[in-house]
Amino acid sequence: MTKHLRENDRLRKIVEAFPKITVTVLGDLVADEFVFGEISRVSREAPVLILKHRDRKVVPGGGANAIYNLADLGVNVLPVGVVGDDEPGKLLLRAFRHKRIPVTGVLKDKSYSTVTKTRILAGFAHTAGQQVVRLDREPSDGPSPHLRRELILAARQYLRASDALLVSDYGYGAAAPSLLNAIREKRGIDKVPVTLDSRHRMLEFAGVTAATPNESEVEEILGIRIGNDWSRLVAAGDQILGQMNLESLVITRGKDGMVAFPRRHKPVDLPIFGSDEVTDVTGAGDTVIATFTAALAAGATTEEAAQLANYAGGIVVMKRGTATVSQQELLEALEKAPPVTRPH
């Protein structure tokens, strides 16, 4: 059996094991709203397009998208988060129930506004819409002290039956570093691997097993510019590994793929799977951490988990809007092409 066949067989077995694992997700739940309009004419009131409303859809975004991705991969997923008693919140809960995702850990509060990101897309009949503006609606404050306590209790309860904890921090308070610290205080819970996707404060988290930032986030938190400098990228990855005491790190690089940093091993450079002519990167990071976490929970090594996350990322960026990758799509991708690495 050739090396590629052995690798593919190993990756396939990991993906097939997904339905046997359970992952708790502590996350900022976001409603991604897409409003589609057909270009009618230019307004007389201002130099802007007038759009005739054609369609609207609301799908899970942010931490909710990571949850949705895990469910589509066949993983048993247990979400912990907060939504408001409003239409976006109700639509998120409806979407979870449609996928048979338990919602007892999702708190609904009248004083909280569900984070909603509205994208206006314009186009002509029979053409794909182009995003022209995005409007974000955010709560003025994060979850109340009472909601924070309830989030901690729900996460602790779920973790007793989980193989991993995924933390999806978009900065809205439901997945803050202090909450993770409080959750991990309970004896026994610290044995569960923790993966992190944090937009702007990754270095503030402690007790994390693995993280999956993109290159621009790494540049922001370290105050550096990486560009195409491989040695600078490796130095940045090693710095984060050491500073956060991680077991593994994956830095995603858009059309340049991703780099996996296994602790005490050389970094592995993975070219993007499929075409580098990307359709839409919305939510791709959620797909990457969902797949990476599922693979680690199923017993994958850092490189194996990164390879599967790379396949999933390459698939999802070819879809429009906030999308997911299914277990079957991942298996079909493995059949089409063996995993590839770039030498350095």
Residues with a catalytic annotation lie at 286
Coil, helix or strand for 20? helix
Distance CA 261, CA 264 (A): 9
What is the widest separation between alpha-carbon atoms in the chain? 69
Distance CA 176, CA 174 (A): 6
Distance CA 308, CA 262 (A): 15
Distance of CA 327 to the CA centre of its chain: 16
Distance CA 108, CA 84 (A): 5
Which segments within the chain are labelled E, that is strand? 22-27, 29-42, 49-62, 76-84, 106-109, 115-123, 130-137, 164-169, 194-198, 210-211, 248-252, 258-262, 268-270
Distance CA 3, CA 99 (A): 37
* Residue pair 214/251 in contact by the 8 Å Cβ criterion: yes
Query: CA torsion sign, 320 to 325 to 326 to 330?
Result: positive
Distance of CA 58 to the CA centre of its chain: 17
Distance CA 154, CA 158 (A): 6
Lookup: tokens for 333:
């991708």
Lookup: tokens for 300:
């994958």
Coil, helix or strand for 214? strand
Distance of CA 102 to the CA centre of its chain: 19
